[in-house]
Amino acid sequence: MDFDLLRDVPQRNRPAPYPFFLWGGVVPPRLLSADLGGNRHPQPHHHQHQQILDKTIGTKLIMATTSIVKSLYRRSLKLSLDWCIRRDVWRPQALNIRELFEANRDVREPRQLRVILQEAEEALERWKHPDPYTAPTAPGGSKYERNLPCPILDPPAPLH
């Protein structure tokens, strides 16, 4: 199938090239090989668009992975606090967790990232505390909803 739809259209009647982000980051196939510049002989621009798409997809993947890793790191620290409440004993454990995350900081391969993240999630499930620590004033804590303010029985008089 020939995707070069604008090959026979005179230069002055050609539509202006639209930014690729209008299609949600996907360049329509008809624009990959269309000559929208001033060249007499159409040149495929697939290589340039593919580089842009690779950068966009790579950036989105890195951003998504970054938020997943941040969540995983935070949950790891909270889980370690469930097992040891004293901060002076917990701090070396937190530094050890940080070293484990820093060791895999430069991994960029998606398959390898997926394996590492899956192993970390499994480790979190394996080490889950049967009775996790809950702050006393948090929902489920021993002081939750204690000493609530009294409800107002009589509504205030309207101001005139």
| pLDDT tens digit sequence for 61-86 | 666 788 889 999 999 999 999 998 89
pLDDT band at 5; cut points 50, 70, 90: very low
What's the farthest any 2 CA atoms get from each other in the chain? 85
144 in Cβ contact with 138 (< 8 Å): yes
Q: Measured between alpha carbons, how far is residue 150 from residues 21, 137, 153, 154, 156 in Å?
A: 56, 18, 9, 12, 15
For residue 97, the model assigns a pLDDT of 93
Average pLDDT over residues 112-121: 89
Contact call for residues 94 and 146 (beta carbons, < 8 A):
no
